[in-house]
Structure 1
Amino acid sequence: MEHAMHTQRPTGRALTRLAVSATLHCLTGCAIGEVLGMVIGTALGWSDVQTIVLAVVLAFVFGYSFTIGPVVRSGLSLRAAVPIALAADTVSITVMEIVDNGVVLLVPGAMEAHLDSWLFWGTLALALAVAFVVTVPVNRWLISRGRGHAVVHAHHGGGHGTDDRQTADAEGPGRHRQH
Structure 2
Amino acid sequence: MSESMHPAEHEMHDHGSHGHATEAHSSHAQHQAADRGHHGPMKTTWGVAASATLHCLTGCAIGEVLGMVIATALGWHDLPSILLAVALAFIFGYALTLRGLFRAGLNWRTALRLALAADTLSILVMEIVDNGIMLIIPGAMDSGLASVLFWGALAFSLLLAFLVTTPINKWIIGRGKGHAVIHAYHH
- Relative to the length of structure 1, the TM-score reads 0.81
1:59 aligns with 2:89: yes
C-alpha deviations, 1:26-47, integer Å up to 9, x for none? 0000000000000000000011
Measured on the aligned residues, the alpha-carbon RMSD in Å equals: 1.6
C-alpha deviations, 1:110-143, integer Å up to 9, x for none? 0100000000000000000000000000100000
Query: Aligned AA for 2:85?
Result: A
The CA deviation at 1:10 is: 2.5
Which structure has the larger Rg? 2
**Structure 1: gaps spanning 5 or more residues:** 160-179
Q: Contact 2:56 / 2:123 at 8 angstroms: preserved in 1?
A: yes
Query: Aligned AA for 1:128?
Result: L
Alignment match, 1:139: 169
Alignment match, 1:120: 150
Alpha-carbon separation, structure 1, partners of 2:43 and 2:52: 13
Query: Aligned AA for 1:121?
Result: W
C-alpha deviations, 1:80-119, integer Å up to 9, x for none? 1001000000000000000000000010000100000000
Alpha-carbon separation, structure 2, partners of 1:121 and 1:7: 40
The 5 Å alignment of 1:2-151 reads 6=39, 9-11=42-44, 15-151=45-181
The CA deviation at 1:78 is: 1.4
Number of residue equivalences: 152
Q: Contact 2:59 / 2:94 at 8 angstroms: preserved in 1?
A: yes
Alpha-carbon separation, structure 2, partners of 1:21 and 1:57: 23
- Relative to the length of structure 2, the TM-score reads 0.78
